[in-house]
Amino acid sequence: MTPPADFSTELLTAALREMWGLEVRDIAYAPMGFGSHHWRVDAGGDGRWFVTLDDYVGAGTDVERGPALSAAFRSARALADSGLDVVVAPVPARDGSVPFELRRHQWVSVTPWLEAPRLPSPDDQTAADRRAVTEALAGLHAATRHVVGIAGTDDLRLPERDLLDRALADGIPPGAGPYGERARDALAERADAVRRALVVWDATADRARAERDSWVITHGEPHWRNVLADGDGLHLVDWDTALLAPPARDLWHVAGAEGEAVDDVLAAYATLTGRSVTTHDLLVQASRWDLTEVALYAARFSRPHADDADGEIAWAGFTESLSTVGARESAA
């Protein structure tokens, strides 16, 4: 992820001083993840901080993310304040806001910096790694009572769904930028698989809505990049997607959607919580992830965009999700 264009680090530094009382000694852009911008901030005696800018300026009409971000981060704060040590929550600004609205469609959050390594990537994880994350998620899901009235509820809708439906029918506008025509061709090649996956997801979502009373607070993306581990145990970071939702929304990130790890994770989760989650539940959530990626990247390539490092990352994500959506749909 490259630094945001036309954004002043001085503006961010001033906000950190005014709203969090941090006197910034050093600030360095941290190119990690995709979709948000991050800085490592050294504030001397006030410690080191991980600062995030969620920037939705120019991202289209489906971008009023302020209330959703606030609900997600306030949920993380409530969980941490309840004593759930696995949660690394943002620190409220002086006015109590979390996140803080820096400018319209731009939101800043401040989280303590942890000197702890990530979990190994899925191919290198052990059964003990997966068990530890499963236990952490079981504890998180059991803490749902602490966020009632705070957390948002998963609406089970795919972002940019209308645009994706139009793109499947008419193609991605090829003149939007350097990836437009390639994206149009790639989506057309996999259009039937995407349509079938959408049918499966829509049917699953309809059934899930009838079971909302059993939903739990979910992190949303507890994959290896968002799980840190040190001598104090596991730490879950990056809470912007926290929602009340079916448990499988989290569990598929640990178990995968198929393979030998699935049975072990589901059995451990059932023992810890008394809840039954099926392989089908995991497959459908994984397919939803692919469909979401396809829809978001299709939207990106249908709008003016540049041929830069972020474009290359987006193109790789788009083609990878297209390649797997059909396989997941067939298995589900």
Query: How confident is the model over 20-67, as pLDDT tens digits?
Result: 999 999 999 988 766 689 999 999 888 999 999 988 765 554 456 789
* Cα–Cα dist 231/228, whole Å: 10
Match 């899925």 to its residue by tokens.
122
Tens digit of each residue's pLDDT (9 = 90 or more) over 297-326: 999 999 888 888 888 989 999 999 999 986
* Cα–Cα dist 151/141, whole Å: 13
Give the pLDDT mean for 280-294: 94
Match 């309809």 to its residue by tokens.
206
67 lies in some domain: yes
**Residue 57: which CATH number?**
3.30.200.20
- Please give the pLDDT value at position 278: 94
**Residues 88 and 154 placed together within one structural domain of the fold:** no
**Residues 144 and 93 placed together within one structural domain of the fold:** no
**Residues 177 and 82 placed together within one structural domain of the fold:** no
**Residues 57 and 128 placed together within one structural domain of the fold:** no
Residue count of the chain: 332
Domain that holds residue 157: 122-331
Whole-structure pTM value? 0.92
309 lies in some domain: yes
Give how many domains the chain has, as a whole number: 2
Report the C-alpha dihedral over residues 267, 269, 274, 280, rounded to 10 degrees.
Answer: -70
**Residues 49 and 198 placed together within one structural domain of the fold:** no
- In the predicted model, is pLDDT for residue 226 greater than 90? yes
- Please give the pLDDT value at position 138: 98
Which of 241, 296, 249 shows the shortest CA–CA distance to 69?
A: 241
Domain boundary (82, 112, 142) is at 112
